[in-house]
């Protein structure tokens, strides 16, 4: 269909000219439909049509059948799911980065630094079930051990 469109668009041009203008080679792929476009600063760039296989497959993780989002016992499970989902998006990662910077890169409980190598968890200050939001000012980052210790203390009390 793209070939027929390109030939119809330029009826006075030959097949080689049409192929050279619209269909390029990229890596091991031939006949990639692409166009050259100029940016505002005058640099030229190639814009090409993506293939279906270029889209990564993202699998949905099923929720455990016994899990209840309104039960406080399942709160850590749903928070961990939410963190995984947010880490897969650019917006979610930037939100965690803002929370981390807002806490001066330290754990909220022990005040030791949170780094890439230390496991961490995120918690809502006001629970979502109590009307809290996913806003940056309602999130706290903790070391995973501090987070578990805090949940264990809640269960004992």
Residue-wise pLDDT tens digits, 116-153: 788 888 888 887 777 888 888 888 888 888 877 776 77
Structural domain containing residue 18: 2-48
Q: Are residues 146 and 82 in the same domain?
A: yes
Choose one of 48, 64, 81: the last residue of a domain.
48
Return the SS3 of 46: strand
Query: Given 3-state DSSP classes, what are the helix, strand and coil percentages for the chain, each rounded to the nearest 5?
Result: 45, 20, 40
User: Average per-residue pLDDT in the chain?
Assistant: 85
> pLDDT tens digit string along 23-67?
998 888 899 999 888 888 888 888 888 888 888 888 888 889 999
Q: Are residues 87 and 146 in the same domain?
A: yes
Q: Are residues 152 and 76 in the same domain?
A: yes
pLDDT value for 156: 59
Among the listed residues 151, 155, 153, 154, the one whose alpha carbon sits nearest the alpha carbon of residue 77: 151
Residues 83-92, mean pLDDT to the nearest whole number: 83
Least confident of 32-41, 74-83, 90-99: 74-83
Indicate whether 157 pLDDT > 60: no
Q: Are residues 140 and 101 in the same domain?
A: yes
In total, how many domains does the chain have?
Answer: 2
Q: Are residues 82 and 119 in the same domain?
A: yes
Q: Are residues 28 and 87 in the same domain?
A: no
**pTM score, two decimals?**
0.54
Whether 57 is in a domain gets the answer no
Contacts of 23 (CB under 8 A, 6+ apart): 3, 6, 30, 31, 32, 33, 34
Whether 94 is in a domain gets the answer yes
Return the SS3 of 20: helix
What distance in Å separates the CA atoms of residue 36 and residue 46, rounded to the nearest whole number? 5
């Amino acid at each position: 269909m793209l070939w027929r469109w390109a030939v119809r668009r330029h009826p006075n041009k030959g097949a080689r000219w049409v192929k050279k203008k619209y269909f390029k080679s990229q890596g091991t792929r031939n006949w990639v439909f692409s166009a050259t476009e100029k940016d505002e600063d005058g640099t030229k760039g190639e814009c090409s049509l993506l293939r279906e296989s270029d889209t990564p497959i993202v699998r949905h993780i099923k929720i455990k059948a016994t899990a209840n989002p309104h039960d406080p016992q399942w709160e850590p499970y749903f928070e961990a799911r939410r963190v995984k989902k947010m880490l897969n998006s650019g917006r979610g990662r930037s939100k965690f980065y803002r929370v981390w910077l807002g806490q001066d890169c330290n754990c909220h409980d022990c005040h030791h630094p949170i780094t890439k190598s230390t496991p961490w968890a995120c918690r809502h200050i006001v629970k979502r079930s109590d009307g809290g939001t996913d806003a940056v000012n309602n999130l706290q980052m903790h070391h995973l051990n501090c987070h578990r210790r805090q949940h264990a203390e809640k269960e004992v009390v």
